[in-house]
Structure 1
Amino acid sequence: MTHDPRALRNAFGAFLTGVTVVTTHNPAGEPIGFTANSFTSVSLDPPLLLVCLAKTSRNFETMTRTAGFAVNILSEAQKEVSNTFARPVEDRFAAVEWRVGPHGSPVFADVSAWFDCSMHEVVDAGDHVILIGRVEGFEDSGKAGLGYARGGYFSPAQSDRALVGAPDMPQQIGAVAERDGSVLLVEDGKGGLRLPSSDLAAGDGVGSFFAYLSTLSGLPVEPGLVYSIYEDTGEKRQHVVYRAALGEGETSALPLFPIDALPLDRVADPATRGILKRYAQESSLGNFGVYVGNQEKGRVHAQVGRG
């Protein structure tokens, strides 16, 4: 069976990914790099990751013969870095601050995370090769990563409605806000608990919600990735739930509940219970996804990037 290559590429593009720049040095010692979103973790023991490279790439010979390479996961403020390394620019590295990593490949400043790897294996895969790297050093900055889907970028704390769509539907923004293995829950006014949330007023961006969350908790808040997007078909309302990290400081009177002992019996809303159950499961693995659907059924999409 044959497929139209463009249609197949568009279908592959429906998968939400992060954005990386893969780097190494050529035989002359010059840094080279290219933008890639075909990246994933492979193994913790041994620590392995992979990235795919087209056989038509001008970097093919260097990348398949190199002793190692680095993967730089771009942060949400680095769209231009992605664009620079996706184009045939003469001196791409002039556009970014970088240094030599512990295994010798270029690693970037201000990224979400970087991994400096030795070459573990090169696997032939049709019109691509799979570069499997063994992680020799890494750094996780805690910055939110840059997202990519269907040929366009999105950022986790995007302050408009383009990320989640449904411009004619009321939206409620919420967060699974965590600190030191515990999650913030608030009273629902009926003796139960719910996630902190607020309606998104006309003209507001999600930044206003995170400002509200900081005031509510009495703590600094670092916005994270989108965690759940669903439509409540009964309320005719779209819910967008983010992950968030609560900073240091004295908490307000609001309680924090341990992730491994969440009081789900006090959470009346089934959709919220489902979010919290999934969060507890994924926290134990350090591997989070994005739920898209309605309050009853949907799909969890894998999310490239830090857990």
Structure 2
Amino acid sequence: MTAKIIDPRVLRDAFGAFATGVTVVTASDAAGRPIGFTANSFSSVSLDPPLLLVCVAKTSRNYATMTGAARFAINVLSETQKEVSNTFARPVQDRFAAVDWWRGPSGCPIFSDVAAWFECSMQDIIDAGDHVIMIGRVIAFENSGLNGLGYVRGGYFTPRLAGKAVSAAVEGEIRLGAVLEQHGSVFLLGDEILSLPNCTVQGGDPARTLAAHLDQLTGLKVTIGFLYSVYEDKSDGRQHIVYHALASEGAPREGRFLRAAEIAAAWFSSSATADIINRFVLESSIGNFGMYFGDETGGTVHPTVKKGARS
């Protein structure tokens, strides 16, 4: 897509391919009241002097107060703090009532249980289109050692949980599968009895292996997203790792995309497949996804992905 015909929404989706952490930027207004907003447009800049940056939208309701503050703080959220991110991404009346926080050495709001926090003096504000770049000089910080919350392609992910799940699955023969989505419809193989696309792990990166298989199978461009299900199927003695994935526009070379209404009347190749598809349809309707970890008869769904973070 060239500069002359760039669609902002398409560009935003492309930017979203870059995995980031999630932060809440905080400060105090002139009356000493805490303010804050969720942001993933955060980066370290320099060690000497110690500098970092965060971008603030000019349309933000906190724009004037934040850019006028002499001090601000970056709270790097931990894996368990998805709801904190959602709270500070929404127009909630009293966001700080929902979190445990305290004042940092220079008075900025600091959250409990974050992966790290940085309190900064305002070094510079640089105009950047519909945003400004706030450069802060770090004057105090703390690193808790907790893993940070991740964000990519419009959804949260928890790296440690995903890594533990994959590690647990590698002890047996592994089948990779995908809930491949195209505008809410799910890609399935078969005529009367339907199944998810799958392949065998031959070593290397499972996500790359699966993407290559799906590209070849469908003839579409496929992007692998978050882990959706990791389970042992005792009936076939295999470990199964299922990812959520997104397909580009177009009709598939093999198989077909089914809408939720069509899925309701479908027959599936196994009860595990039926459970995965039906859970996906339900979670899609509420926009709140989880990762299943267990076997083909029972397990636990860990909430991992919920729409909400923004810069």
Q: TM-score range by the shorter chain?
A: 0.5 to 0.7
3-state SS of 2:161 partner? coil
Distance 1:84 1:4, change over 3 A: same
Q: Deviation digits for residues 73-109 of structure 1, max 9, x if unmatched?
A: 0000000000000001011011111111112210111
Larger Rg: 2
Instruction: Report what 1:121 is aligned to.
Output: 124
Identify the residue that residue 56 of structure 2 maps to in structure 1.
Answer: 53
Of 153, 171, 184, which aligns to 1:199? 171
Distance 1:132 1:138 in 2: 16
Instruction: Report how far residue 158 of structure 1 moved.
Output: 2.2
Contact 2:21 2:151 in 1 (8 A): yes
Quote how far apart the aligned CAs of 1:131 are: 0.4
**Corresponding residue of 1:236:** 202
What amino acid does structure 1 have at the position aligned with 2:39? A
Amino acid at match of 1:46: P
* Residue ranges of structure 2 left out of the alignment (5+ in a row): 176-198, 207-311
Change in CA separation of 1:16 and 1:159 when aligned onto 2, cut-off 3 Å: closer
1:93-128 per-position Cα deviation (integer Å, ceiling 9, x unaligned) = 111111111122101110000000000000000110
Distance 1:16 1:46, change over 3 A: same
**Alpha-carbon distance between aligned partners in 2 of 1:201 and 1:82, rounded to the nearest angstrom:** 37
- Structure 2: distance between partners of 1:123 and 1:52: 9
Residue 107 of structure 2 corresponds to which residue in structure 1? 104
Aligned length: 181
Normalising by structure 2, we get a TM-score of 0.54
Q: Work out the CA distance in 1 between the residues paired with 2:137 and 2:113.
A: 23
Q: How far did residue 39 of structure 1 move?
A: 0.1
Matched, 1:152 2:124: no
CA RMSD of aligned residues (A): 2.8
What's the % identity of the aligned pairs? Answer: 63
Does the aligned pair in 1 maintain the 2:174–2:201 contact within 8 Å? no
Distance 2:86 2:172 in 1: 32
Of 51, 61, 65, 1:62 maps to 65
Task: State the match for 1:5 in structure 2.
Answer: 8
State whether residues 174 and 200 of structure 2, in contact with CA within 8 Å, keep that contact through their aligned partners in structure 1: no
One-letter amino acid of the structure 2 residue matched with residue 131 of structure 1: M
1:140 to 140, 143, 156: 143
Q: String of CA shifts for 1:255-301, please: whole Å, max 9, x gaps.
A: xxxxxxxxxxxxxxxxxxxxxxxxxxxxxxxxxxxxxxxxxxxxxxx
Distance 2:201 2:39 in 1: 40
1:90 matched residue in structure 2: 93
**Offset at 1:159?**
4.7
Q: Which has the higher contact order (CA 8 A, sep 6+)?
A: 2
Is 1:74 matched up with 2:77? yes
Q: Please, what TM-score do these two structures have when normalized by structure 1?
A: 0.55
Q: 1:238 to 1:60 in 2, by over 3 A?
A: same
